[in-house]
């Protein structure tokens, strides 16, 4: 086995990537829980609707940040490829 194999085996992703991965995995869970709990008429319906709006806003902001990171990484990769020509 070469040294590259051991370097790959001992690679630890940066904490920011771990955070992004955890949050990305949490989004489907949040959406599932919202779907299961939603549409229950209670006295706190207005507060629940406001909480749902806040959750939607949080998820939207998170997805926009992920989109910006993907665009930045793609642009950086394209720039490196373009300048190497």
Render pLDDT for 46-63 as a digit per residue (tens, 0 to 9).
Answer: 777 888 888 898 889 999
> In terms of pLDDT, which residue wins out, 31 or 66?
66
Query: What's the per-residue H, E or C state across 10-50?
Result: CCCCCHHHHHHHHHHHHHHHHHHHHHHHCCCCCCCHHHHHH
Q: Is the pLDDT higher at 10 or at 79?
A: 79
Angle between helices 15-37 and 45-84 (to 10 degrees): 150
Residue reference for tokens 């749902």: 52
pLDDT in tens, 13-53: 677 777 887 888 888 888 878 777 765 566 667 777 888 88
**Side-chain half-sphere CA neighbours of 34 within 13 A:** 16
Query: Would the pLDDT of 71 be above 90?
Result: yes
- The residue that leads in pLDDT, 40 or 64, is 64
């Amino acid at each position: 086995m070469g040294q590259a194999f051991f370097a790959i085996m001992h690679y630890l992703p940066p904490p920011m990537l771990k955070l992004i991965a955890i949050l990305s995995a949490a989004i489907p869970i949040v959406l599932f829980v919202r779907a299961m709990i939603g549409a229950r008429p209670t006295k706190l319906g207005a507060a629940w609707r406001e909480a749902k709006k806040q959750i939607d806003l949080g998820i939207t902001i998170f997805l926009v940040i992920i989109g910006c990171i993907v665009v930045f990484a793609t642009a950086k990769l394209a720039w490196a490829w373009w300048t190497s020509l």
